[in-house]
């Protein structure tokens, strides 16, 4: 006998008992996107490797270690072009913005999408090779008000899905003017202790010294007295960051300053933020993250335009909801329609009427004894059973309490069930 085929490592099937939490979280995201005036955009699941290499940076983990490459048909020319599944959507959205000349539209543009991302990483709890993000991007607004608005939006999302204790960690990593000085300060600090750095960090020290700060193997003493980005900001970046903090205070958003938060993608400038359940800080635990990318549009060939956005990891959000016991029950009120003998025409008609009234209805398709039908309705998670008797008679049974109302009319059922 041949061996069964399993899902690829780092991917998950979402079974029916899990998908209701997903639907709930996605609908909260969609509704917030509507209320915050974001328009939906969709981009391909794969793009040219070059887009990610240029946009996210050759030395980012997403490009250097985790690129999920796809090849087209065997052959040469365009068909053999190197593509990769998108590790994140920001680079693709900016590509679309440039490709469609969207800079001429009345801005700032507020764009959103929900969908799968792919990173060929070593799978572990909360880290998958295919995962989903809710992404929002604002292009054409230099802030700082929009920075605070987005951090507040992320914060509100977690509250609306029912999570408590989610805190935003924020930092400013400066811009083209002040970042070089900060980079140099980091190089000077860490080069003096190079022998205590991991191999990864020694390499990063040369290519992108900021990333040394988010190495989880960095000795705590070296991290503690490392130069802080905030001490190296130019006046314009400092004012920008101070203004965001003042706005977050006014909005009542809980945040903490995190000098080591530098983000893993190279396109960031100035504002960087991540969301965590308090006490669960650490790279693998970020529920979401984002920041400003004022140089990305130009880097990808467009006219200079500032940008900011975030990506919220839906998988990790749902894991946190399960841990906090706030994931919604699999299904709302389900109504089973049961009958006697072969009265399937009546069962389907009544099911149809109740569905038109908005109820979730599952007619029993068997001709088993009523007791058996009731048993399987309960097992299927039905809260109510409509029992069709002779003629027009109908009873409504509450399967949770066992209570029954005889001689109900079809019009009475929906209001009772909807409670």
Question: Under the rule (CB under 6 A), what is the footprint of ligand HAM?
Answer: 88, 90, 119, 121, 126-128, 131, 133, 135, 137, 264, 286-291, 293, 309-311, 313, 315-316
Q: Residue 302 CB, nearest distance to ligand HAM (Å)? A: 16
To the nearest 10°, the Cα dihedral for 326, 327, 328, 331?
-150
Contact 272, 172 (CB under 8 A): yes
Closest residue to bound ligand HAM by CB = 313
Can you tell me the distance from the alpha carbon of 379 to that of 381, in angstroms, rounded to the nearest whole number?
A: 5
Which CB, 28 or 386, lies closer to ligand HAM?
Answer: 28
In the complex, minimum distance from the CB of residue 127 to ligand HAM, in angstroms, rounded to a whole number: 4
Q: Is the CB of 91 or the CB of 218 nearer to ligand HAM?
A: 91
Measured CA distances, 162 to 36, 274, 280, 321, 333 (Å)? 19, 18, 17, 7, 20
CA dihedral sign, ordered 320, 136, 57, 245: negative
Instruction: List, as own/partner pairs, every contact residues 245-253 make where C-beta atoms lie below 8 angstroms and the sequence separation is at least 24, other chains included.
Output: 245/170, 247/144, 247/145, 247/147, 247/148, 248/148, 248/151, 248/152, 248/168, 248/170, 251/148, 251/152, 253/148, 253/151, 253/152, 253/155, 253/168
Q: What angle do CA 383, 409, 335 make, to 5 degrees?
A: 20
Nearer to ligand HAM, 288 or 339 (CB): 288
Q: Which is nearer to ligand HAM, 150 or 386 (CB)?
A: 150
Report the C-alpha gap between 24 and 14 in whole angstroms.
Answer: 14
- The CB-of-55 to ligand HAM minimum distance in angstroms stands at 10
**Looking at beta carbons only, is 127 or 362 nearer to ligand HAM?**
127
Residues whose CB is less than 8 angstroms from the CB of residue 149 and which lie 6 or more positions away in sequence, other chains included: 36
The nearer residue to ligand HAM, 88 or 258, going by C-beta atoms, is 88
Shortest Cβ 119–ligand HAM spacing (Å): 5
57 vs 339 by CB, closer to ligand HAM:
57
| Minimum CB distance to ligand HAM smaller for 128 or for 190 | 128
CB of 130 to ligand HAM, least distance (A): 8
Q: How far is the CB of 136 from ligand HAM (least distance, A)?
A: 7
Q: 236 with 176: CB under 8 angstroms? A: no
Shortest distance in whole angstroms from residue 291 CB to ligand HAM:
6
Minimum separation from the CB atom of position 117 to ligand HAM (A): 7
SS3 39: strand
- Strands 384-388 and 255-257 turn out to be unpaired
Tell me which residue has tokens 């893993």.
264
112's torsion region: left (phi>0), alpha (psi -120 to 50) or beta? beta
Edge to edge, what strands does the sheet with 384-388 contain?
360-363, 334-338, 384-388, 394-398, 404-405
CB 158 within 8 A of CB 261: no
Alpha-carbon span 331 to 20, nearest angstrom: 7
CA–CA dist 131, 314 (Å, integer) = 8
User: For ligand HAM, which is the closer residue by CB, 113 or 186?
Assistant: 113
Smallest distance, Å, CB 66 to ligand HAM? Answer: 8
Kindly state the smallest distance separating residue 290's Cβ from ligand HAM, in Å: 4
Compare residues 296 and 386 and give the one whose CB is closer to ligand HAM.
296
């Amino acid at each position: 006998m041949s061996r069964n085929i399993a899902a690829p490592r780092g991917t998950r099937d979402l079974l029916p008992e899990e998908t209701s939490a997903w639907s709930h979280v996605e609908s909260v995201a969609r509704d917030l996107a509507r209320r915050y005036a974001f328009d939906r955009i969709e981009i391909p699941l794969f793009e040219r490797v070059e887009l990610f290499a240029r946009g996210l940076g050759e030395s980012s983990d997403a490009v250097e270690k985790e690129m999920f490459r796809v090849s087209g048909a065997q052959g040469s020319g365009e068909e053999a072009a190197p593509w990769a599944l998108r590790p994140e959507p920001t680079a693709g959205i900016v590509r679309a913005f440039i490709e469609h000349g969207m800079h001429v539209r009345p801005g700032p543009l507020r764009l959103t999408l929900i969908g799968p991302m792919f990173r060929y990483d070593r799978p572990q709890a909360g880290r998958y090779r295919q995962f989903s993000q809710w992404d929002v991007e604002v292009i054409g607004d230099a802030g700082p008000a929009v920075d605070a608005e987005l951090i507040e939006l992320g914060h509100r999302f977690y509250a609306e899905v029912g999570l408590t204790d989610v805190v935003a960690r924020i930092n400013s990593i400066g811009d083209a003017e002040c970042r070089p000085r900060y980079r140099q300060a980091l190089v000077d600090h860490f080069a003096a202790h190079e022998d205590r750095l991991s191999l990864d960090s020694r390499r990063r020290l040369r290519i992108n010294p900021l990333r040394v700060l988010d190495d989880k193997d960095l000795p705590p003493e070296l991290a503690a007295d490392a130069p802080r980005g905030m001490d190296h900001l130019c006046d314009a970046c400092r004012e920008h960051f101070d203004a965001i903090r003042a706005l977050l205070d006014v909005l009542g958003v809980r945040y903490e300053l995190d000098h080591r938060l530098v983000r893993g993608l190279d396109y960031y400038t100035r504002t960087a933020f991540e969301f965590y359940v308090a006490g669960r800080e650490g790279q693998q635990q970020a529920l979401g993250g984002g920041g400003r990318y004022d140089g990305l549009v130009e880097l990808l060939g467009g006219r200079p335009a500032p940008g900011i956005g975030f990506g919220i990891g839906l998988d990790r959000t749902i894991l946190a909801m399960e841990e906090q016991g706030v994931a919604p029950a699999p299904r709302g009120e389900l109504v089973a329609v049961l009958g006697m003998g072969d009265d399937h025409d009546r069962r389907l008609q009544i099911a149809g009427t109740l569905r038109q009234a908005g109820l979730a209805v599952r007619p029993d398709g068997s001709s088993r004894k009523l007791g058996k039908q009731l048993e399987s309705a309960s097992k299927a998670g039905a809260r109510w059973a409509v029992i069709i008797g002779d003629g027009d008679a109908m009873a409504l049974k509450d399967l949770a309490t066992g209570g029954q109302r005889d001689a109900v009319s079809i019009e009475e059922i929906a209001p009772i069930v909807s409670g």
